[in-house]
C-alpha cells in the first residue's frame, strides 16, 4: 500500500468545484418538485456552496451558469463569495434554452442565430474577465432529429468557425473546455457527441482548448477511464463534470451508480499526476438533485469523490508496475483490487480531524440547523431553477 502520509497530503489539497444549479430546483421534463429553502439568487447559492465547503474543506469554488446566474455586479458577487470563504469558478454557457435555438445554436443553419450564440459565448468571457474565472465550459445541445434534416459536415464547419472565434477572444490564463454528450436533446445526430469529436476540434484550436469528460454522457458500457487515460496522455483533458447515471444522463450523485468506475477513473488521474495543480484538471460536479435535499447531496457527492480518490492513491503503483511487467495478470489485478477494497472512511475521518473539521461532514451539517434556517428564512421571491 502507498504511504499513508503522502495519501493524506494529496487528499488535503484536492479541490472539487460545485455547480450553482445543484442548489436550485430541478426536475425531469415531466415535473420539477420545489424544495423548501432553495436559493432565490446567486448570492444565496454562494452561501449554500460555502456550507459544503465548511463541512468538507475541499470544495472552495462555485461554477456559474449564464444566464441562470446573471447579476448586475460580478465584482460584488466575487466579494460576496470571498466573504463566504469561496471563489467563483468555471463559467458555463447556455445555448440551449432560447427559442431561437430550436434547430441548434452554433451549428444552426441560420447565420443570425449562430452569431447570437457566439455573442453569448463572448459575453461569458467578459464575465470571466470580471470574476477572474479561468475556464469557459461549452456544452452544445446542437443536433438533428431526422436524417436529412441538415447537412452533418456543414454543421461541423459552423461549429469549428465559432470555436475559433471563442478561442481568439480568450485572454491569458483563460481556457475553453469543450464538453461532449452522446445524445439528448437531439435524437438522431449530435454535433459534439463523443470525446473523439471534441478532441479533434480541440487539437485544431491549440493550447487553450481542452476536453471535458462529463461522466454521465456516454453510452452504457463505455470504458470512460480509457478516454481519461488517452486525454491525459495527449494533455487534452481539461476537467470533469462528475455525476452518475444508470441509463441516460440523469445527473445522479457521482459514485452512486458505479463507485468502482469512479475509482478506475481516479486511478488513471492519480497515476498520470492529474491531481497536481500544475496538471490543470478541473474537478467539477455537474448534478441536479430532483428528489433528495440539495446541500446534503452535494456533501455526499464530495465525499464519494474523496473516497474514490483515496482508494486510487492507495494503489501500490511500484508493485503494480512490477506485476504488469512480469505479465502477472492476477497479481496486478489483485494489487488494484486491494486498494479498491480498502475501507478508506477512517482515513478520511482522520484527514478531516487534522483539517480541523468534523470527521462526519454529513452528520455535522444535519446538526447545524442550517437546513431549518434557510427553510424558514427563504420565503417569498422566486426560487432558483433551471427554467425549463
- In the complex, which residues of this chain contact ligand RM4 (CB under 6 A)? 21, 65, 92, 139, 179, 181, 214, 241, 249, 286
Closer to Mn ion by Cβ: residue 55 or 101: 101
Closer to ligand RM4 by Cβ: residue 124 or 167: 124
Closer to ligand RM4 by Cβ: residue 142 or 307: 142
Asked if 181 and 214 touch (Cβ cutoff 8 Å), the reply is yes
Distance CA 246, CA 263 (A): 17
- In angstroms, give the least distance from the CB of 181 to ligand RM4: 6
According to DSSP, the β-strands at 189-190 and 143-144 are: antiparallel
Closer to ligand RM4 by Cβ: residue 243 or 306: 243
Residue in this structure with the C-alpha cell 472539487, named with its chain if needed: 16
Closer to Mn ion by Cβ: residue 48 or 286: 286
- In angstroms, give the least distance from the CB of 250 to Mn ion: 12
* Eight-class DSSP state of 316: -
Which of ligand RM4, Mn ion, none interacts with 23 (beta carbon under 5 to 8 A by kind)? none
With residue 239 as reference, give the H or E element that holds it: strand 237-242
Cis before residue 157, ω within 30 degrees of 0?
no
| Residue facing ligand RM4 at closest CB distance | 139
SS3 content of the chain, % helix, strand, coil (to 5): 50, 15, 40
Cis before residue 123, ω within 30 degrees of 0?
no
- In angstroms, give the least distance from the CB of 35 to ligand RM4: 18
- In angstroms, give the least distance from the CB of 19 to ligand RM4: 7
The three-class DSSP label of residue 65 is: strand
- 64 Cβ neighbours under 8 A, 6+ residues apart: 20, 42, 88, 89, 90, 91, 92, 127, 131, 133
Which of ligand RM4, Mn ion, none interacts with 44 (beta carbon under 5 to 8 A by kind)? none
The three-class DSSP label of residue 27 is: strand
Q: For binding to Mn ion (CB under 5 A), which residues are involved?
A: 214, 241, 286
Which of Mn ion, ligand RM4, none interacts with 92 (beta carbon under 5 to 8 A by kind)? ligand RM4
| Residue facing Mn ion at closest CB distance | 241
- In angstroms, give the least distance from the CB of 214 to Mn ion: 4
Which of Mn ion, ligand RM4, none interacts with 69 (beta carbon under 5 to 8 A by kind)? none
- In angstroms, give the least distance from the CB of 70 to ligand RM4: 15
Amino acid at each position: 500500500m502507498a504511504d499513508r502520509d503522502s495519501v493524506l497530503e494529496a487528499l488535503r489539497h484536492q479541490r472539487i468545484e460545485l455547480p450553482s444549479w445543484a442548489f436550485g430546483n430541478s426536475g425531469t421534463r415531466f415535473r420539477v418538485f420545489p424544495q423548501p429553502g432553495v436559493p432565490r439568487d446567486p448570492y444565496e447559492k454562494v452561501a449554500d456552496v460555502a456550507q459544503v465547503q465548511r463541512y468538507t474543506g475541499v470544495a472552495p469554488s462555485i461554477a456559474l451558469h449564464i444566464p441562470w446566474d446573471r447579476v448586475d455586479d460580478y465584482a460584488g458577487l466575487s466579494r460576496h463569495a470571498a466573504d463566504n470563504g469561496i471563489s467563483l469558478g468555471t463559467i458555463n454557457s447556455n445555448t440551449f434554452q432560447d427559442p431561437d435555438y430550436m434547430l441548434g445554436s452554433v451549428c444552426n443553419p441560420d447565420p443570425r442565430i449562430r452569431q447570437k450564440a457566439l455573442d453569448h459565448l463572448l459575453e461569458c468571457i467578459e464575465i470571466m474577465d470580471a470574476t477572474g474565472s479561468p475556464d469557459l465550459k461549452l456544452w452544445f445541445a446542437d443536433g438533428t432529429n431526422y436524417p436529412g434534416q441538415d447537412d452533418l459536415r456543414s454543421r461541423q464547419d459552423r461549429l469549428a468557425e465559432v470555436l475559433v472565434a471563442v478561442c481568439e477572444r480568450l485572454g491569458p490564463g483563460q481556457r475553453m473546455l469543450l464538453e461532449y454528450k452522446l445524445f439528448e436533446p437531439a435524437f438522431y445526430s449530435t454535433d459534439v457527441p463523443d470525446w473523439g469529436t471534441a478532441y479533434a476540434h480541440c487539437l485544431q484550436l491549440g493550447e487553450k482548448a481542452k476536453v471535458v469528460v462529463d461522466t454521465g454522457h456516454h453510452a452504457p458500457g463505455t470504458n470512460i477511464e480509457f478516454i481519461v487515460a488517452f486525454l491525459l496522455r495527449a494533455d487534452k483533458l481539461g476537467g470533469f463534470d462528475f455525476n452518475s447515471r444508470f441509463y441516460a444522463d440523469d445527473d445522479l450523485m457521482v459514485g452512486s451508480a458505479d463507485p468502482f468506475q469512479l475509482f478506475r477513473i481516479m486511478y488513471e488521474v492519480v497515476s498520470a499526476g492529474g491531481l497536481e495543480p500544475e496538471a490543470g484538471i478541473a474537478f467539477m460536479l455537474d448534478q441536479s438533485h430532483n428528489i433528495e435535499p440539495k446541500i446534503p447531496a452535494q456533501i455526499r457527492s464530495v465525499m464519494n469523490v474523496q473516497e474514490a480518490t483515496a482508494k486510487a492513491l492507495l494503489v501500490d503503483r511500484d508493485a503494480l508496475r512490477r506485476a504488469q511487467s512480469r505479465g502477472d495478470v492476477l497479481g496486478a489485478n489483485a494489487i488494484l483490487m486491494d486498494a479498491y477494497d480498502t475501507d478508506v472512511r477512517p482515513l478520511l475521518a482522520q484527514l478531516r480531524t487534522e483539517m480541523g473539521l468534523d470527521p462526519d461532514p454529513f452528520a455535522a451539517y444535519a446538526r447545524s440547523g442550517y437546513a431549518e434556517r434557510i427553510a424558514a428564512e427563504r420565503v417569498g421571491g422566486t426560487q432558483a431553477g433551471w427554467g425549463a
